[in-house]
Structure 1
Amino acid sequence: MEVGMRVVFMGTPDFAVATLEDIINAGHIVEAVVTQPDKPKGRGGAVAMSPVKETALEHGIEVLQPVKVKNDNEFYERMKQIDPDVIVVVAFGQILPDSILELPKYGCINVHASLLPAYRGAAPIQWAVIDGLEETGVTTMQMDHGLDTGDIIMQSRIRLDAKETGGSLFDRLSSEGGRLLVKTLEAVENGTATRTKQDDSLSNYAKMLTKSLGNIDFNEGAVNIERLIRGLNPWPSAYTHLNGKTLKIWEADVCECNDDNMKPGTVFNVTKDGFCVKCGKDALSIGEVQLEGKKRMASDAFLRGFKLESGTVLG
C-alpha cells in the first residue's frame, strides 16, 4: 500500500489499542482519534485518560472527546473538515448517528469480538468463556443503525484454550482484531471486500457484566461455575462469602463428589495443599483465592494463614 487511507479512529478501552497501533503501522494516516471523556478513577478520584487517548497522544494524533456524538454540532463540523476515507470503530461506547455513519467515503467499519451474528452486545469475550464455547473470533462489519447488526466484511476464528480466562481471551482477540482490520481496510480500498448480511435468527445478546453476576450459586453444576470463574477473571471476578467476608475464587478445577447428601457450598477434603467445595453436580477443587482485605494467593498459602474446616458452608 503506497499511500494509506485517511482514517478517523473511534475507541476507548485497552481492547481498541492494538487496532489503532496496527492501523498506524500499516501506513494509514490517522487524522484524529475520538474517545470517551476523561473520567475519575480509583479511590483518589484522579481524572484518567482512556488507553486509546494515551496511545493517540504518544503518536501526536489529535484527540476529540465529545460527551455525546449524537448532539454535538461542533464535533460533526470537525468530522466534515477532516473528511476521512473511513471511520474505524472499536469498543467506542456511544451510538453513532446517521450523519456520522454516512460521512466517510467507505462508511464506518467496526471490529467486534465475536463471530457475528452470535454474541452481539457489550461483553462477547467473557460470555464466550462462561458459555463454554470451543471457538470464537473477531468480525469486521460495515456499521448500520442497529447494535452490531451491520453486514459482515471479514471474520477470523480462534479456538479457546481449556483454561481460557476472560482476560487471556481479551488479549488474544484484541491482537487478532487489529490484524483483521488492516486486512479489511486493504480489501475495502482495493474494491475486493465482500459484504454479507447477518442472519438475525442466529443472533444472541452478550449482556453487560455486573459485579452481582460473580456471586457464585453453588447449587449450579461445577462445570458451569468453573467457566464462570474463568470468564469473570479478571473483572468483575467470581466470589462467595466466608464468615461474612468476600472470598474471591480465581482458579478452580472440576472434581467428582458422589455424596448427594452434602449441601452445595460445603467445604470438604481440606488438606495442606487445598480444599474442595460441593456443587449442585460434582465439586470444585479450589486453586487460587483472595479473602477480603488480603492478596490473591494459591490455596496452600491461604490455608497456612487461615484455619478452614471441613463442613464450613460458603455463600
Structure 2
Amino acid sequence: MKIVFIGTPDFSVPSLKKMIEKFDVRAVITQPDRASGRGNKITISPIKEIGLLYKIPIYQPEKIRKDFEIINKLREIEPDFIIVVAYGQILPKEILNISKYGCINLHASLLPKYRGSSPINWVLINGEKETGSSTIIMDTGIDTGDILLKKRVAISESMSAGELYNILKENGAELLQETIDGVVTGNVCRVNQDTEGSSYVPLLSKQMAKINWNDSSININNLIRGLSSWPYKNMNSWPTAHTNYKENIIKIYKARALDVTTTKPPGYVIDTSNEGITVATNEGILNIEVLQLPGGKPLEVKAFLKGNIIEKGIILI
C-alpha cells in the first residue's frame, strides 16, 4: 500500500509511525516551520521530525489549497491512501480525489458528535462518560464524511484532557491500520453520518478558561479536567482553567468535586491542607489538588503549600 501522510502535531505521531511500520509511506505533508517560544526560535512539527528520521520526502505548503505543485506531486505518487490526522488546513477537492481508496481522516470523537478542532477537551468539559475515535472518508465538509470504523473509550471521573489525548492518539493509530486493512479487503463499509445527532465544538479560548465560582463544583471540575494536560507537559497550546487570588492568577490543573453542602459564598476558601484547598461553589465544594502561581510550575498542593500561602476566608474571583 502506497501511503501519503498528512498531519502536524504530536497527536499525529503514533499514526505516522504505524503507517511506516505497516505500509509504504511515500511522502509526508505537514505545516511550515514556525517561530515560537522565547526568542521566536524556528521549530519544526513533530510530524516533520519523524519524516526526517525515516528519510521520507517532506512537503510543507503554506496554503495547500493553492499549491498546484503539491497536487501534481501527489498525482505522480499515485497513492492508494491519503491519511490525514490533525493537519490544520482544509484539503481541496483535487486532493480528496487523487488516491485509489480515498482520503481517510482520523478524528478524536465518536462522530457525528463533537466535530471540529478540540473534541478531546469538550467531551470532558461537557461531562461525557464515553468518547473514542472515528475514521471517515473525507469530503469537502468539516468532519462530515462517511464513517468507516469507530473505537470507544470510557471516561473516568478524574481523567484529564492530557490523559485522554494520550489514550486516543495511540488507539487512533491502531484504528487507522484496521481501517486500511478493512477497506482493502472489503470488510469495512461506509456509513453516512446522521446529521440529526451531529454537533460542532467551538474553539477553545482564554476567556472560557476563567472559573465561574457561581457554577456547580461538578461543572467547574469538568472545565478544569477539559483544559488540563496534567500529568503531561506537552500540550501547552491549551488554555488552563484559572482564578484570581488577590493580585495573582492561579492556574488549576487538577481538582475534585465534593458532594458536600456549605453556607459559604461561591469562591470562599474554606480550608487549606496537604489534601487540598477547599473552595465553596454555588453547588458543592471544590477540592484543588494541583495548581500554579505566575512564574512557578504546576505543583501538587502539599508541595505548593510548603512555599506559598493561600489564606482561608479569601474570596477567589
TM-score, length of structure 1 as denominator length: 0.95
- Alignment-mate amino acid for residue 105 of structure 2: N
Counterpart contact for 1:274–1:303, Cα < 8 Å: no
In 1, Cα distance between equivalents of 2:276 and 2:157 = 21
Residues 15-54 of structure 1 mapped to structure 2, 5 A cutoff: 15-26=11-22, 28-54=23-49
State yes or no: 1:10 paired with 2:13.
no
Matched residue, 2:248: 245
Aligned residues: 309
Whichever residue aligns with residue 251 of structure 1, its letter is K
CA apart distance, 1:257? 4.3
Query: Matches of 1:167 and 1:308 in 2, distance apart?
Result: 27
Q: Counterparts in 2 of 1:212-231, with a 5 A limit? A: 212-231=207-226
**Contact 2:262–2:285 (CA<8 Å) still a contact in 1?**
no
Task: Establish whether residue 304 from structure 1 lines up as the match of residue 306 from structure 2.
Answer: yes
- In 2, Cα distance between equivalents of 1:89 and 1:75: 15
Q: How does 1:260-279 map to 2 (within 5 A)?
A: 260=263, 262-271=264-273, 273-279=275-281
CA RMSD, Structure 1 to Structure 2 (Å):
1.2
1:132 equivalent to 2:127? Answer yes
When normalised by structure 2's length, the TM-score is: 0.94
Q: 5+ residue gaps in structure 2?
A: 230-237
Q: 1:162, CA displacement in angstroms?
A: 2.4
Shift of 1:253: 1.2
1:55-114, Cα deviation, whole Å (9 max, x unpaired): 111111000001111111111111111111110000011111110111111110000001
- The equivalent of 2:258 in structure 1 is 255
Say yes or no: does 1:284 pair with 2:312.
no
Question: Secondary structure of the equivalent of 2:272?
Answer: coil
Q: CA deviation at 1:273?
A: 4.6
Aligned to 1:149: 144
Rounded Cα–Cα distance in structure 2 between residues aligned with 1:36 and 1:228: 30
**Kept after mapping to 2: 8 A contact 1:272/1:304:** no
Aligned partners of 1:134, 1:272: CA distance in 2, in Å?
Answer: 29
Distance 1:137 1:31 in 2: 29
1:25-67 deviations in whole A, cap 9, x for unaligned?
11x1111000010111111211100001101111110000011
Return the alpha-carbon distance in structure 1 between the equivalents of residues 149 and 273 of structure 2: 51
**Which stretch shifts more, 297-306 or 222-231?**
297-306
Query: Which sections of structure 1, spanning at least 5 residues, go unmatched?
Result: none
Matched AA of 1:267 = V
